[in-house]
Chains A and B, each alone.
Chain A
Amino acid sequence: MQVNRLDKGGRIDRSKPLKFRFNGKSYEGYAGDTLASALLANNVSLINRSFKLHRPRGIIGSGAEEPNAILQIGKGAHTLPNRRATQVALQEGLVARSTKGWPGVRFDIGAINDVFSRLFSAGFYYKTFMFPQSLWNLYEDLIRGSAGFAKAPKKPDPDRYEHINAHCDILVAGAGPAGLMAALAAARSGARVILADEGTEAGGALLRSDEIIDGRPATNWVETIATEIRGYEDVTVLKNSTVFGYFAQNFLTITERTEGPIRQREWRVRARQVVLAQGAIERPLIFCNNDRPGVMLASAVSEYIRRYAVLPGKRAVVFTNNDAAYQAALDLHSAGATIAAIVDSRRTGAGDLGEQAKAAGIPVMPGHIVTNVSGRKRVTGVKIATWDGATEGMVDESIDIACDLVTMSGGYSPAVHLHSQSGAKNAWDDSLSCFVPGEAVQACESAGAGNGRWSLRDCLEDGARAGKVALAKAGFDMPDIAVPAASSQAVKPLEPLWRVPAAQDPDRCPKQFLDFQNDTSVADVRLAVREGYRNIEHVKRYTALGFGTDQGKLGNINGMAVLAEALGMSIPEVGTTTFRPPYTPVSFGVCAGESVGELYDPVRKTAVHEWHESSGAEFENVGQWHRPWYFPLPGEDLDAAVARECLATRKSLGILDASTLGKIDVQGPDAVTFLERIYTHNVGKMQNGRCAYGIMLGEDGMVMDDGVMARLGDNRFYLTTTTGGAAAVLGWLESWLQTEWPELEVYLTSITDQYSTIAVAGPNSRRLLHKLSCSVDLGNENFPFMSVHDAELAGIPVQLFRVSFSGELAFEVNVDSNHALPLWQTLMDAGEEFDITPYGTETMHVLRAEKGFVIVGQDTDGSVTPIDLNMNWMLSKEKDYLGKRSLSRPDCLRTDRKQLVGLLSEDNTTVIPEGAQLIEDLSAPEPVPMLGHVSSSYMSACLGHPIALGLVAGGWNRKDEVVYAWAAGCEPIRARIVSPVFYDPRNERQND
């Protein structure tokens, strides 16, 4: 039964009843309801338990400011944690649960925290969980278990999300009266406009008002204007869309909660000009037990009555320090509720609205304050005291009034969150008693209530003004736009009342909550001051005031004022904390957008990929590439396949897809000069048609990348880089060319994807190429090791390199990627007689390790110099190159640096785990000195025993010494230090 539903009125659709469940019970509401209005319609006042003290909590607000009604929506994989009931549109079958309270929200064991609430004062965690330190891990588990709101779904999100980039001349945030006027001005002038509002419909505060615009109801005016705005071609109107972040260069982000196949959409907007018109948020008043269910903001009460036709209480006390709450009293009165009293802290009472209240027969008590609330799970009454305006001392709460609703208003605070996120400061306005947007630092204008304009007339005017200013700055002609007529009432000014005096000392009275979501009370802030905290940012962290998803929407200004009072400072002296994005919580799903599953990260594929796939290759990720790891025959595991691939290559012929190597074309008259500075070896001495192994160093002298380079002409070179380093190396080279050596005439072009690289390795590789009518003489004289020729292979133009990463006689074939797959197939067919064996990255690693060839990034880690790798022969003494000077730093010359060595396990059978630490003495006391670590380790099928490479402090002087390799979860393995070259140390095979 919707016992609190009014018979008529509201913007709900009574012809569409919707069933929903809350905490296991069934209820009914209407289309157009929020979950919050539907719960109130059903007289559900206890919604949740509070974060720390587990106090019973109800709904306070009606929008983004709601701190209590944070619920778990939906079940299973679709569940949404951390949602405000005030912003969840009611849907048929909706299921919602309280997020706090065990075993339930009505009886909650955690409520014991409230009884002992003195223990849970500010800094409770810091004070309690410090000792003993050894128990911290246990404490952390307990704290994590009780923290947060709701549970994240455990299953993958089945819904779809997307991102869209947008550009506009004017972005208007908020479709209340000010935002509508700004958007209307912009739309009429032909600008590209995005108007975003977090509500289900435009209108903002007008949806809860009975004001008249241009002689007709305001909501009527809203409809006309919104329809006109939507009609312009270059205007995008987004409802259910929260502008949640304002970043540099007028870049703003919006989440749109959509209907249809996409659940949410993230708009990334680059706006030339922004109009911020998000309105203002009403402040609570800070009296004892002001968190009891049934204590609500005046604006929310009006909204529930007028927009949703829900009467949240039958007998109300209205407590205020300004005129705004009188409207709620009038709304309550006309909806049939009894107003027990309007308690106005001002002795002067209110302006026009005060007269209306009196005329309606509503008792007004000027110069009084509500000091305390009775009732635990629902308000049952209030205590009232006369007040002379003194903020110090205690008052005599002699008046008791029974009621089931307390409607409060402490004035309004402009929603300055986005303004603040844009990098601008907020300015304290003494006459308005609130922070208003300070000078803008980006191309934006604030307007309306968000700019401290309270009356409807002012809002409409300010919106039109902001729209025009933004248009002028964006270079548009002034549109023809008249500000519609709206009434303006005589208002008596707000009188600040930051903390309501109580019958007891403020540090001992019942809790006066500042921040409902974080359970931060007046006493907590005062305690923080007594303990020495002075800065608002420190007090925030110590007391949690304004933390988390709430971002201080309700509590911040009151909290600052209470802090200012305790410090004896003014509010502007105390200042605000920083408002951070997001304005309201954003789901992880919409952050990820489409980048999930197959699209999580690009998978780069070589031109031969489909052959690998159809041949049953197992793949591994190398950077973004998917490379064949090994090619198992039926029944083979990794070890068996790799052993077979290694032996086949060493004995006859293997074939590898090496297309992922980075490839760079270098041309220009200064190519030699440039490359001399980049590489450590003598580039200038290379003859045309010859190749060289090259390493490049960072400025710190550490090995950065390596690869084979070829000189194709006097002014032309071809470089290869590691697979993972390709993009970084090209960027590194370009940055030197463009910023440091712009005088060098050199062009770099990435040709990584243009050429596929097929390596054929093994004693039969020359015979294979010969068989395919290779157009060049492959003999040693014409085609020695480390040389390059243009050629045709089976009629396909290729570039042939005689290079070897396996130590075997080998060739690398560069071919236009369009022809790579046919060529690969041709090589496979022709190689059949040599038992040609495709191999993957694992076999490639084993073969190179047998030869002691390092892999940059595996055997090096950014702290290894070429000297450590025993590559002194690569370091030219005749020229300068990047990193050279660093190599003569004393630290680089130490003889006890970690040096590349080979390692053999003493039992000749155990493969040492890669990453194992090397230590000298098993009985050494902790911390055990580490000599180094194992960087590469494999079973060598061709040698018949395991081999490993490692970096060992002073390793070259430790030859034949035994060390222990120790990895987590293994017994220490005895290993002997040997030369890193295990196979064919005289390089006879590659030169064959």
Chain B
Amino acid sequence: MTEWHEKRHGLEQRIADWTSRTGFTISVRDDLGHLNLRGDLGSPGFLAAAEETIGQPLPQAPNTISDGDSTIFWLGPDEWLILTPAEKAANLADQLESSLSNQHAATNNVSGGQIALTLTGERVREVLAKGCALDFHPQVFTEGRCAQSGLARANVTIGSIGGDNKFLVIVRRSFADYLLAWLDGVA
């Protein structure tokens, strides 16, 4: 069955064409699996069960990231995005389903539906500001912050993680080709 783990995101050509530019590079994070988790923090036991299963805290402050073996984005008061090594995603989804089976919760493995991009470089904040209305000032969009917003004409989740000028941008798979074309144009 292993051959099916070879991922095809349809962006191979774009990435192959992508040359590292002054102050700005981009890579497709094939190594990450994506889980969407919904749950009620007010419900007894939800938080404990979820955190025990994942092995790290769920961020509760709006627009923050919890970083550990997995990278967890706060998406809403009852919604999180868990980025985890791709090979573990299906397993973690199953574990969450079972540990939260007596909770009002929902787990969806969305690894196939989203593309994560890493954007790095001195001018990455400037590139993001061209397409997104959020404030990317280094003292405002600090490391560990995330947000859902629009980048150009695509909906994205953006997180600052792993360094001052390093961002994860997560986009729906069907919009990824457009977004890369846009990034190529403005970068």
Residues of A in contact with B (beta carbons under 8 Å apart): 162-167, 192, 234, 268, 270, 594-595, 598-599, 601-607, 609-610, 625, 665, 667-669, 745, 747, 749, 751-756, 795-796, 816-822
Q: Is B47's beta carbon under 8 Å from chain A?
A: no
Chain B residues within an 8 Å CB radius of A667: 38, 105-106
B174 touches A604 (CB 8 A): yes
Q: Are B8 and A604 touching (Cβ within 8 A)?
A: no
* Cα(A95)–Cα(B23), bound, Å: 38
For the residues of A in contact with B, the DSSP-based class is: mixed
Q: Which 10 A-B pairs have the closest CB atoms?
A: A754-B113, A753-B113, A817-B112, A604-B174, A816-B112, A667-B106, A747-B38, A747-B106, A602-B178, A167-B135
A131 to B36 Cα, complex, angstroms: 67
A554 to B91, CA, bound (A): 72
Cβ-defined contact, A822 with B38, below 8 A: no
Cα distance A665–B111 in the bound complex, in angstroms: 15
A752 and B104 contact, CB distance less than 8 A: no
A594 to B38, CA, bound (A): 36
Task: Give A593's nearest chain B residue, CB to CB.
Answer: B130
Q: Which of A162, A270, A610 contacts B186 (CB 8 A)?
A: A162
Contact of A818 among B8, B135, B140 (CB under 8 A): B8
CB-based nearest A residue for B38: A747
The smallest C-beta distance from B76 to any residue of chain A, in angstroms, reads 11
List of B residues within 8 angstroms of A820 by Cβ: 8, 112
The 8 Å CB contact of B1, one of A165, A669, A795, is A795
Question: Which residues does chain B contribute within 8 Å of A605, judged by CB atoms?
Answer: 10, 174, 177
Partner of A749, one of B6, B106, B135, B182: B106
The prevalent SS among residues of B at the interface is: mixed
In the complex, are the beta carbons of B108 and A745 less than 8 A apart? Answer: no
CB distance from B176 to the nearest CB of A (A): 8
B28 interface residue (CB < 8 Å to A): no
**Whole-angstrom CA separation of A745 from B131 in the bound complex:** 36
List 4 additional contacts besides A752-B172, A755-B113; criterion CB under 8 Å: A166-B129, A599-B181, A609-B10, A745-B104
Tell me the B residues contacting A by CB distance below 8 Å.
Answer: 1, 3-4, 6-10, 36, 38, 40, 78, 104-106, 108-114, 126, 129-135, 137, 140, 152-154, 172-175, 177-179, 181-182, 185-186
Chain B nearest CB from A280 CB (Å) reads: 33
The answer on a CB contact under 8 Å between B112 and A818 is: yes
Q: How far is the CB of B177 from chain A (nearest CB, A)?
A: 5
Do A599 and B36 form a contact, CB below 8 Å, given A607-B10, A818-B112?
no
Contact of A751 with B108 in the complex, beta carbons under 8 Å: yes
**A784 to B: closest C-beta gap in Å:** 27
Contacts of A601 in B (CB 8 A): 153
Check A165 against B129 for contact (C-beta < 8 Å). Answer: yes
Chain B contacts for A167, CB-based, 8 A: 135, 137, 140
Would you give the shortest CB distance from B105 to chain A, in whole angstroms? Answer: 8
Interface centre among B110, B112, B132, by most chain A C-beta atoms within 10 angstroms, is B112
A947 to B172, CA, bound (A): 39
In the complex, are the beta carbons of B173 and A817 less than 8 A apart?
yes
| Minimal beta-carbon separation of A721 from chain B (angstroms) | 15
A753 lies within 8 A of B132 (CB):
no
- Which residues of chain A come closer than 8 Å to B133, judged between CB atoms? 165, 268, 270
Which residues of B are found within 8 Å of A749, using beta-carbon distances?
Answer: 36, 38, 106, 108, 110
Q: Is the CB of B111 within 8 A of A818?
A: yes
A163 and B126 alpha carbons, distance in the complex (Å): 11
Q: Nearest chain-A residue to B39 (Cβ)?
A: A747
A276 to chain B, nearest CB (A): 22
Kindly state the separation between the CA atoms of A270 and B108 in the bound complex, as whole angstroms.
Answer: 36
30 CB contacts below 8 A, A to B, read A164-B126, A165-B131, A165-B132, A165-B133, A192-B137, A270-B133, A598-B181, A602-B153, A602-B154, A603-B177, A604-B174, A604-B175, A604-B178, A607-B173, A625-B174, A667-B38, A667-B105, A667-B106, A747-B78, A751-B113, A753-B110, A753-B112, A753-B114, A753-B172, A818-B9, A818-B112, A819-B4, A819-B8, A820-B8, A822-B4
| Beta-carbon contact of B112 and A754 below 8 Å | yes
Q: Can you name the residue of chain B whose Cβ is closest to the Cβ of A604? A: B174
Q: How far is the CA of A358 from the CA of B44 in the complex (A)?
A: 91
B187 shortest CB reach to chain A, Å:
11
Give the complex CA separation of A754 and B129 in angstroms: 28
A962 to B112, CA, bound (A): 52
A331 → chain B closest CB, angstroms = 44
Return chain B residues, CB-CB under 8 Å to A821. 8, 10
Q: Which residues of B contact A754 (CB under 8 A)?
A: 108-114
Which A residues are CB-close (under 8 A) to B105? 667, 747
Known: A165-B132, A270-B133, A601-B153. A607 touches B104 (CB 8 A): no
Known contacts A599-B178, A602-B178: A164-B111 contact under CB 8 Å: no
Chain A contacts for B182, CB-based, 8 A: 594, 599
* Chain A residues near B174 (CB-CB < 8 A): 604-606, 625, 752-753
Within the assembled complex, what's the spacing in Å between the Cα atoms of A601 and B133?
Answer: 18
Q: Which of A270, A669, A816 has the most CB of B within 10 A?
A: A816
- What's the Cα separation between A604 and B153 when bound, in Å? 11
Chain A residues near B154: list those with CB within 8 A: 602
Q: A599 and B152: CB pair below 8 A?
A: yes
> Which chain A residues border B40 with CB–CB below 8 Å?
745
Known: A165-B133, A749-B36. A668 touches B10 (CB 8 A): no
- Smallest distance from the beta carbon of B5 to chain A beta carbons, Å? 8
Complex Cα gap A668–B153 (Å): 32
Asked if A796 and B4 sit within 8 Å, CB to CB, the answer is: yes
**A163-B130, A167-B135, A749-B36 known; A822 and B8 CB under 8 Å?**
yes
Q: Smallest distance from the beta carbon of B140 to chain A beta carbons, Å?
A: 7
The interface centre, meaning the residue of A165, A166, A602, A796 with most chain B CB atoms within 10 A of its CB, is A602
Instruction: Output the residue of B114, B177, B181 with the most chain A CB within 10 A.
Output: B177
Distance of A752 Cα from B174 Cα, bound (Å): 9
**Which residues of the other chain, B, contact A602 by a CB distance below 8 angstroms?**
152-154, 175, 178-179
Measured CB to CB, the nearest residue on chain B to A609 is: B10
A233 to chain B, nearest CB (A): 11
A602 → B minimal CB distance (Å): 4
State whether B106 touches A668 (Cβ < 8 A): yes
Minimum distance in angstroms from B104 CB to a CB of chain A: 5
B6 touches A822 (CB 8 A): yes
Measured CA separation A625–B178 after assembly (Å) = 11
Instruction: Indicate the member of B10, B104, B135 with the most A CB atoms within 10 Å.
Output: B10
A939 to B130, CA, bound (A): 49
CA distance A602 to B178 in the complex (A): 6
**Closest Cβ of chain A: how far from B184's Cβ, in Å?**
10
Evaluate contact between B129 and A816: CB separation under 8 angstroms: no
In the complex, A756 Cα to B172 Cα: how many Å? 13
Once the chains are docked, how many angstroms separate the CA of A602 from the CA of B175?
A: 7
Chain B positions within 8 Å of A192 at CB level? 137
Contact A819 B112 (CB under 8 A): yes
How long is the Cα–Cα vector from A506 to B108 in the complex, in angstroms? 79
Is the pair B113, A595 in contact by a Cβ cutoff of 8 Å?
Answer: no
How long is the Cα–Cα vector from A625 to B104 in the complex, in angstroms? Answer: 34
A484 CA / B110 CA spacing, docked (Å): 63
Min C-beta distance of A718 to chain B, whole Å: 11
Docked complex Cα distance between A822 and B2 (Å)? 13
Nearest B-chain residue to A659, judged by Cβ = B174
Interfacial chain B residues near A822, Cβ < 8 Å: 3-4, 6, 8
Question: Given the known A-B contacts A162-B130, A668-B104, A819-B112, are A603 and B137 also in contact in the complex, defined by CB atoms under 8 Å?
Answer: no
| Complex interface: chain B residues within 8 A of A668 (CB) | 104, 106
CA distance A749 to B110 in the complex (A): 10
**In chain A, what residue has the closest Cβ to B182?**
A599
Q: Which of B3, B38, B126 has the most CB of A within 10 A?
A: B38
- Asked if A594 contacts B129 (CB within 8 A), the reply is no
Query: In the complex, what residue of chain A is closest to B128 when comparing beta carbons?
Result: A165
> In the docked arrangement, what's the CA distance between A77 and B106, Å?
55
Report the separation of the CA atoms of residues A13 and B172 in the bound assembly, to the nearest whole angstrom: 54
| Among A595, A604, A795, A817, residue most surrounded by chain B Cβ atoms (within 10 Å) | A817
Q: What's the Cα separation between A167 and B131 when bound, in Å?
A: 14
CB distance from B141 to the nearest CB of A (A): 10
State in angstroms the CA–CA spacing of A419 and B109 once bound together: 51
